[in-house]
Amino acid sequence: QVALVESGGGSVQAGGSLRLSCVASEDIYRLNFMGWFRQAPGQEREGVAAIYTYGSVTYYADSVRGRFTISQDAAKNTVYLQMNSLKPEDTAMYYCAASSVTDAILALNQYAYNNWGQGTPVTVSS
C-alpha cells in the first residue's frame, strides 16, 4: 500500500490558477498510473487527469483539457496538477490516486485505482 499526500488546494477567483502536489511514499515509476480525481458535493467522483509514470503519457477529461496540466518529478516521487483558467464548476475536493493497471483505457476510471490520498479542497469563486 502506497501513501499519497496532497497539498496545494485553496480558494481562488475565477480565472485564477492553483498547483496541486501529490507526494508518494515510493518510487512513482512502480505505480504505473497516477491520477487526479475530484468530487463536488452531491456528485460522483470524476477523473480529471492521469499520467502513465513510466512514459509520462498524459490523459485528461474533456472538461479540463487545455486548462489543466499533469506532470511528474520522479526524483521527488511527486505528481503535480497545474490548474489554470479556473472556473466555479472546478470547485471540489481533489484527490490523488495511484493504480497498478497497465491498460490506458482505465486511466481516468476511479475503480482502477486502489491507493488514495486524503484530498485537498479547491474553491473557485465567481
What is the grid cell recorded at 72?
511528474
pLDDT band at 55 (very low <50, low <70, confident <90, very high): confident
Q: Looking at residue 102, what is its pLDDT? A: 87
Rounded distance between C-alpha atoms, residue 57 and residue 101, angstroms: 14
Average pLDDT over residues 1-19: 97
Per residue in 69-104, pLDDT (tens digit) is: 999 999 999 999 999 999 999 999 999 999 998 899
